[in-house]
Amino acid sequence: EIVAAVQSALADGPLKGRRILVTSGPTHEPIDPVRYIANRSSGAQGTAIARALAAFGAEVVFVTGPADMPAPGGVEVQRVETAQQMLAACETALPVDAAVCAAAVADWRVASASPSKMKKTAGGLPQLEFAENPDILAALSQRAENRPGLVIGFAAETDDLEANAAAKLKRKGCDWIVANDVSEAMGIMGGTENAVTLITQSGTERWPRMSKYRVAARLAGKIADVLTGSD
């Protein structure tokens, strides 16, 4: 009841009337009908962000790869498998006021995925040729038409977190990067907490380690500030 009361109080929230795209989960890139390449992503952070934005009153389009967890309620869900499908679903969702690209999109796909199952016996080890996948964050950030007012990317890094994330911000042309350290010692992958650094064109904020729900709520609050001009 408390949750329902809060949600109904927020339905008229600061993001009422704003349309926001959130990508979430991994992509799966087929090798053949039974094998694929994937990124580790439970979809937990993207799902929490979509839920927080919806609770703030936004109309959320949630484009998700095959994630471990159910999509949040109260949002428009578009399910995809590959990076190419995810880009198409994002472009279909435009125009939006903001885009939060939390999906762990595979950088590469297998150039010539086999329509039949590759046989183990047919000539030893496989030779896979790769092709570069579309870069969804860069594509949304660099659009001439219908560029979202605010584009937020994520960077999962194991080394040189801030330098790599700042370089990514510049290279992609997005507005903010939410960077996190996924080295094994942090124990974040697949867990319930996250320790992120928010990088914007004006500086860097190191947020303390907190639950993925609190990261989502804080990020949604900052998005609301920017979109409503209170920042």
What residues line the site for a second copy (CB under 8 A)? 28, 31, 33-40, 68, 104, 106-108, 116-117, 119-121, 124-126, 128, 130-132, 156-159, 164, 171, 182-184, 189
C-alpha torsion angle, residues 201, 207, 211, 214 (rounded to 10)? -60
Q: How far is the CB of 70 from a second copy (least distance, A)?
A: 12
Q: Answer whether 211's CB lies under 8 Å from 193's CB.
A: yes
Q: Is 194 a catalytic residue?
A: no
Token pair in block for residue 6: 């809060």
Residue (6 or 111) nearer to a second copy, CB: 111
Q: Which of 164, 200, 154, 161 is CA-nearest to residue 181?
A: 161
Tokens, residue 41? 């992503």
49 phi, psi to nearest 5 deg? -65, -45
Work out how close the CB of 66 gets to a second copy at its nearest, in angstroms, rounded to a whole number.
Answer: 9
**Which residue in 153, 149, 49 sits closest to 95, CA to CA?**
149
Distances, alpha carbon 100 to alpha carbons 40, 110, 124, 223, in Å:
18, 26, 43, 10
Closer by beta carbon to a second copy, 19 or else 41: 41
Name which of 42 and 78 has its Cβ closer to a second copy: 42
Nearest approach, Cβ of residue 107 and a second copy (Å) = 5
- 3 vs 125, which CB is nearer to a second copy? 125
Minimum distance, C-beta of residue 199 to a second copy, in the bound complex (Å): 17
Dig out the tokens for 181 from the structure: 């350290």
Supply the minimum distance, in Å, between the C-beta of residue 124 and a second copy: 8
In the complex with a second copy, the residue whose CB is nearer, 37 or 77, is: 37
User: Is residue 205 classed as helix, strand or coil in its secondary structure?
Assistant: strand
**Cβ–Cβ < 8 Å for 47, 26:** no
Catalytic annotation, pick one of 39, 146, 164, 180: 39
The span from the CA of 172 to the CA of 20, in Å, is 19
Q: Which residues are catalytic?
A: 39
